[in-house]
Homo-oligomer: A and B are copies of this chain.
Amino acid sequence: MNILIVYDVNTSTPEGRKRLRNVAKCCQNYGQRVQNSVFECQLEYHSYPMLKHTLEEIIDSGADTIRIYKLGKNYQQSTEQIGRVTSFDFDGSIIV
């Protein structure tokens, strides 16, 4: 299955910044970062509950928010990019 994970993590505290890194690390196991807080992931259906549970464990549900969209099999063909194409090293610093 293909999914898109988008998230807003409150980084006003050191704990928040740690949660942000951990969310990215978790998503990184399943796919690739396409924007600062956006991952395109490809995984088996049976892996999805574990991914979701892990994300639920990482975030502060009172401060952070994650949305997960199911994407179609050939979503890349209909996805459009405007502007700068970004690639990321793992820590989130943007390589342009």
Contact = CB atoms under 8 A, between A and B. Distances in A.
Contacts of A82: 52, 55-56, 59, 61, 65-68
A4 B78 CA distance: 12
Contacts of A80: 52, 67-68
Contact of A68 (B6, B36, B68, B79): B79
Interface in A67-85: 67-72, 75, 78-85
Contact of A61 (B59, B67, B84): B84
A35 B52 contact: no
Interface of A: 4, 6-8, 34-38, 52, 55-56, 59-72, 75, 78-86
